[in-house]
Amino acid sequence: IETKLPKVGTTIFSVMSHLAVQHKAVNLGQGFPDFEPPQALRDALSSAMANGLNQYAPGIGTAALREQIALKTERLYGHKVSPDSDVTITSGATEALFAAIAAVVRAGDEVIVFDPAYDSYEPAIDLQGARAVHIPLTVPSFSIDWQRVRDAITSRTRMILINSPHNPSGAVLSSADLEELATIVRDTPIVVLSDEVYEHIVYDGAAHESVLRHPELAARSIVVSSFGKTYHCTGWKVGYAVAPAKLSAEFRKVHQYLTFCTFHPAQAAFAQFLASNPEHYLELPAFYQEKRDRFRKLLTPSRLKLLDVPGGYFQLVDYSAIRDEDDLAFCEWLVKEGGVAAIPLTPFYEKAPGTRLARLCFAKSDATMDAAAERLCKL
């Protein structure tokens, strides 16, 4: 058959996790914690399954969980949303991103994405017959050059996709960035898709600048998040989308035929856990900041140069003092010869950037970090 996605192979996350197992490397590649979700959350999941919640959930998600998300949105971002019309539970952020793009973007439209861009965005855009317009972020701060965005807007621009805190760099958008964005999209039909899966992981006392803090942007945005990142359970695949009623209605048309509904027991578990532990996500910045700082300290004696990490749970390292080769070659060498799996940045770019950077995940136990650091300091 003629392929619909000629540029797509197996994702770099699957490739590197496979190589990590094959070469017995410490896996700091694919982003997932190697520690367990809170015990109370796991207990809540078991009891949901023991107590008969094993059939379809409501398509848009359980009322109790949507209510908890609405409460959180108002508490953290001062933005009131209706749990009935504005919140939809999805099978991970990945499904929410795909459904948002499929619901809004038509064939021939253009979607602005910022490189390096999370790898699921472009295939979702391509499958609509639309075109991703790539704008590189400014290295090493990974900030947006808003003049380049102004220059890229055409009558076909239908969506701008932002991601803060940013994967892979950890860069965060400021309120001034959101002001720029609001000015650019004012009086246009452009929809903002805001990937905020790391919303609770920002460091050094900074506050996450959700588009939901910005009423003008919130009125034209679909905001996507993921419980996998917040509650250390990436394998449960539960996420959600928050959008004004009219956008949510379009979003739900796709969601109901993509998956119809999301794993019911986990929705019950999250609703119960959020209601009884509303402070869990408030403790997340300190929890991960300790890991970030510990990991950076362990790598101080290495020849890797550490870039700043304002958010998320990835450390970018410049490896140019160790080997002069592109990031794909370096990461292949590192997993085979150095015993550590990392993620190269090239797969997240339209045009290979030529930077000597690799991504290491520090959502790891002390023992895993120690084992990885010992190997990395020998390079």
Which listed residue (70, 93, 218, 358) binds ligand PMP by CB under 6 A? 93
Site map for ligand PMP, 201-230, x if CB under 6 A? -------------------------x-x--
Query: Cβ closer to ligand GLN: 47 or 259?
Result: 259
Q: What is d(CA 296, CA 362) in angstroms, rounded to the nearest whole number? A: 9
- How many residues bind to ligand PMP according to rule CB under 6 A? 14
Q: CB–CB of 158/189 below 8 Å?
A: yes
Query: Between residue 25 and residue 54, which ones bind ligand PMP under the rule CB under 6 A?
Result: 31
Taking CB under 6 A as the criterion, the residue among 92, 116, 339, 344 binding ligand PMP is 92
Report the distance separating Cα 194 and Cα 59, nearest Å: 22
Contact status, residue 75 vs residue 213, Cβ threshold 8 Å = no
**Which option in ligand PMP, ligand GLN, none does residue 93 bind, with CB closer than 5 to 8 A by kind?**
ligand PMP
The sheet with strand 87-90 has its strands ordered as 87-90, 239-242, 221-226, 191-195, 157-163, 110-115, 131-136
| Positions 285 through 304 that interact with ligand GLN (CB under 6 A) | none
Tokens standing for residue 67:
């209510």
The helix or strand, by DSSP H or E, that contains position 336, with its residue range, turns out to be none
For residues 116-147, one letter each, b for 16 or more C-beta atoms within 10 angstroms of the residue's C-beta and e for the rest, the string is bbbebbbbbbbebebbbbbbbbeeeebbbebe
Alpha carbon 333 to its chain centroid, in Å, reads: 27
Q: Give CA–CA dist 201/222, Å, rounded.
A: 20
Site for ligand GLN in 5-44 (CB under 6 A): 11, 13, 30-31
Residue 30 interacts, among ligand PMP, ligand GLN, none and using kind-specific CB cut-offs from 5 to 8 Å, with ligand GLN
| Residue 93 or 298 with smaller CB distance to ligand PMP | 93
Q: Does 346 bind ligand GLN (CB under 6 A)?
A: no
Q: Nearer to ligand PMP by C-beta: 208 or 237?
A: 237
SS3 at position 95: helix
Interface positions with ligand GLN (CB under 6 A): 11, 13, 30-31, 167
Interface positions with ligand PMP (CB under 6 A): 31, 92-94, 118, 163, 167, 195, 197, 226, 228, 234, 237, 239
